[in-house]
Chain A
Amino acid sequence: QKEVEQNSGPLSVPEGAIASLNCTYSDRGSQSFFWYRQYSGKSPELIMSIYSNGDKEDGRFTAQLNKASQYVSLLIRDSQPSDSATYLCAVNPLSGSARQLTFGSGTQLTVLP
């Protein structure tokens, strides 16, 4: 079982719709969770971080964390063509501490005009 799993996609949504991206993780003791956006040929850019159960909103982005079910999701409201990118979920596991973030393989999102 992979430590961090994401739907590989690709995911397509029409402009203005809500895009929902999901991520599950295996280390129950994981403490911090991040979503990165990566445009083709570019480096990842942090868009959301979440540390406690519940929802965290930042503009059109909402991160949701459920530690009991071991999943974290990212909702993008009013999706725009500029949101088209690959979204990487990253988890800081309890084991390994400062060693690394563990990344999922990413979900490719396309927002259709």
Chain B
Amino acid sequence: DGGITQSPKYLFRKEGQNVTLSCEQNLNHDAMYWYRQDPGQGLRLIYYSQIVNDFQKGDIAEGYSVSREKKESFPLTVTSAQKNPTAFYLCASRPRAAGELFFGEGSRLTVL
């Protein structure tokens, strides 16, 4: 089945550690996105990529990094520079510029 797969679903991290969240899609979508959601709040854009080997910062990119080496994959690294990383992270993709977003199931990161 086509879709977006995020892993892991749950992740615990000690302060000072970097962690990488995986996002893979087999929808053949060009554009991919990473959002962060905090309890009771909307979605905030971290990074996005419209084509392979190119990505742009969103509204809250500080403390995060991404890569886009393959069309299917858009991993997100939460670095130790991110001051408050505990959140629900959502990866999404879309088939065209003005089209709808499709989301993965999300990854919940907790910093201990």
Contacts and interface: CB of A to CB of B under 8 A. Distances in A.
A60 interface: no
Interface string A94-113: 00011111011110000000
B100 A49 contact: yes
Interface string B71-112: 000000000000000000010000001111111111000000
Contacts of B102: 46
Q: Chain A interface mostly helix, strand, loop or mixed? A: mixed
A100 B48 contact: yes
B42 A88 contact: yes
Contact of B97 (A49, A98, A104, A106): A98
B41 interface: yes
Nearest to B30: A98
A16 B14 CA distance: 47
Interface stretch (A37-45, A61-69, A73-81): A37-45
Interface in B9-43: 31, 33, 41-43
Given A32-B99, A44-B90, A105-B42, A98 B105 contact: no
A100 B97 contact: no
Given A43-B105, A44-B103, A100 B45 contact: yes
Given A98-B50, A100-B45, A106-B41, 19 more contacts: A31-B98, A32-B98, A34-B101, A42-B105, A43-B103, A43-B105, A44-B90, A44-B101, A45-B103, A46-B101, A46-B102, A88-B42, A88-B43, A92-B98, A99-B48, A100-B58, A101-B101, A104-B42, A105-B42
Interface of B: 31, 33, 41-43, 45, 48, 50, 56, 58, 90, 97-106
